[in-house]
């Protein structure tokens, strides 16, 4: 109940912000609707589409925008907001996020793809996708991340699948749980892909060889200390393309992208450098000091800042989807 009241207040704030800034609002009614709304926004000539929701909503909107030059804005309101955290966009603070959108600073990031489905942060094959598959939606709505922990404990008690990972110019690798990252974070602000960046043109891949209860505890402990990539049963590498398939041809192994269940292996991963435009906070310059302006210089700077904040393209340039 508390979560639903909070969600209601956030929606009211967003509706108010959209009204204040003359943004067009589209409400989603079910799975896949955010993607369809984003596709329509591209066709209708919108220059910016704002995804208001969690990582699942962002993923749908990105799939609707893929292949276009439309810019993505973020109003993170979900359980994890991993992609927003990666970019430094504050979660569940819509007014601060709207200031970032208004400032108009665009960052180009790589766009990853799993078969025909795009993703921005991460994908998983095997264990974590099985955990996502086993989450009860009603339980998730009321208890958030705890629902994934309970589902993961159930999955860890099963026999794990054997997965084959194939890349160009390298022998096939084997494991039972594979993570593919575009950014650093996984499951919150856990730096699973420690050296990954969203604009290096590469995917970071982690293969875990074991996923029993004790193995998972050991992995989590090492993630917290930043030593998980040194474990003998964890393999890490980078690739621009890879294929993950079950060792047993008829085995049903799910995969997820940005926390949403997408399909079943085999799955081919690719990345397109700099393909997605995202509104992000301006990078801070180390050692920079504020400069005081006066007279005409101050007026000119204010006018330039105002122009930078104004969306371009004329007539209804901004669409909010939530």
Q: Per residue in 270-305, pLDDT tens? A: 999 999 999 999 987 655 554 554 444 444 444 444
Can you read off the two tokens belonging to residue 182? 């575009």
Cβ contact 163:247 at 8 Å: yes
pLDDT band at residue 141, thresholds of 50, 70 and 90? low
Distance CA(161)–CA(176), nearest Å, equals 5
pLDDT band at residue 49, thresholds of 50, 70 and 90? very high
pLDDT at 301: 42
Q: What average pLDDT does the segment 23-37 reach?
A: 89
pLDDT at 5 over 70: no
For the ranges 3-12, 94-103, 155-164, 227-236, the lowest mean pLDDT is seen at 3-12
Q: What percent of the chain has pLDDT over 70?
A: 84
Distance CA(92)–CA(7), nearest Å, equals 9
What are the extents of the domains in the chain? 2-110+276-282, 118-273
For residue 28, what are the CA distances in angstroms to 53, 77, 317?
10, 14, 19
List all residues 6 or more positions away from 190 whose beta carbon is below 8 Å from its beta carbon: 223, 224
Q: What average pLDDT does the segment 112-139 reach?
A: 88
Q: What average pLDDT does the segment 119-133 reach?
A: 91
CB neighbour class for 307 (10 Å; exposed up to 12, middle 13-18, buried from 19):
exposed
pLDDT: which is higher, 125 or 151 = 125
Query: What is the dotted CATH code of the domain comprising 2-110+276-282?
Result: 3.40.50.10330
Q: For residue 229, which of 212, 199, 245, 205 has the smallest C-alpha distance?
A: 205
pLDDT at 37: 94
**Coil, helix or strand for 249?**
coil
pLDDT: which is higher, 19 or 262 = 262
pLDDT: which is higher, 213 or 37 = 37
Q: What average pLDDT does the segment 32-60 reach?
A: 94
pLDDT at 150: 76
pLDDT band at residue 140, thresholds of 50, 70 and 90? low
82-118 pLDDT tens trace: 999 999 999 888 899 999 999 999 999 999 999 999 9
pLDDT at 193: 95
pLDDT at 306: 44
Q: What is the residue-averaged pLDDT of the chain? A: 85
pLDDT band at residue 67, thresholds of 50, 70 and 90? very high
pLDDT: which is higher, 158 or 221 = 221
The third-level CATH classification (topology) of the domain covering 118-273 is Tumour Suppressor Smad4 (2.60.200)
The secondary structure of residue 301, as a DSSP letter, is: H
């Amino acid at each position: 109940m508390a979560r639903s009241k909070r969600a209601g207040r956030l929606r009211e704030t967003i509706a108010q912000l959209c009204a204040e800034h003359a943004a067009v609002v589209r409400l989603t009614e079910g799975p896949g609707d955010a993607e369809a709304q984003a596709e329509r926004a591209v066709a209708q000539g919108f220059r910016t589409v704002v995804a208001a929701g969690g990582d699942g909503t962002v993923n749908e909107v990105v799939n609707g925008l893929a292949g276009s030059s439309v810019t993505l804005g973020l109003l993170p309101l979900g359980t994890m907001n991993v992609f927003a955290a990666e970019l430094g966009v504050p979660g569940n603070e819509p007014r601060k996020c709207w200031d970032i959108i208004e400032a108009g600073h665009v960052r180009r990031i790589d766009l990853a793809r799993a078969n025909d489905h795009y993703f921005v942060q991460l994908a998983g094959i095997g264990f974590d996708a099985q955990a996502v598959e086993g989450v009860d939606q009603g339980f998730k709505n009321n208890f958030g991340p705890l629902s994934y922990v309970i589902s993961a404990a159930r999955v860890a008690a099963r026999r794990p699948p054997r997965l084959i990972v194939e890349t160009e110019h390298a022998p096939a690798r084997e494991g039972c749980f594979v993570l593919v990252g575009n950014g650093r974070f996984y499951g919150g602000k856990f730096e699973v892909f420690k050296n990954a960046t969203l604009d290096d043109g590469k995917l970071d891949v982690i293969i875990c060889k074991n996923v029993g209860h004790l193995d998972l505890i050991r992995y989590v402990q090492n993630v917290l200390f930043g030593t998980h990539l040194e474990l003998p049963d964890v393999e890490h590498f980078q690739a621009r393309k890879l294929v993950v398939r079950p060792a047993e041809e008829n085995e049903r192994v799910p995969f997820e992208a940005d926390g949403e269940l997408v399909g079943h292996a085999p799955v081919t991963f690719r990345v397109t450098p700099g393909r997605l435009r995202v509104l992000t906070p301006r990078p801070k310059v180390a050692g920079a000091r504020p400069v005081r302006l006066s007279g005409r210089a101050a007026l000119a700077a204010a006018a330039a800042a105002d122009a930078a904040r104004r969306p371009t393209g004329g007539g209804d340039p901004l669409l909010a989807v939530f």
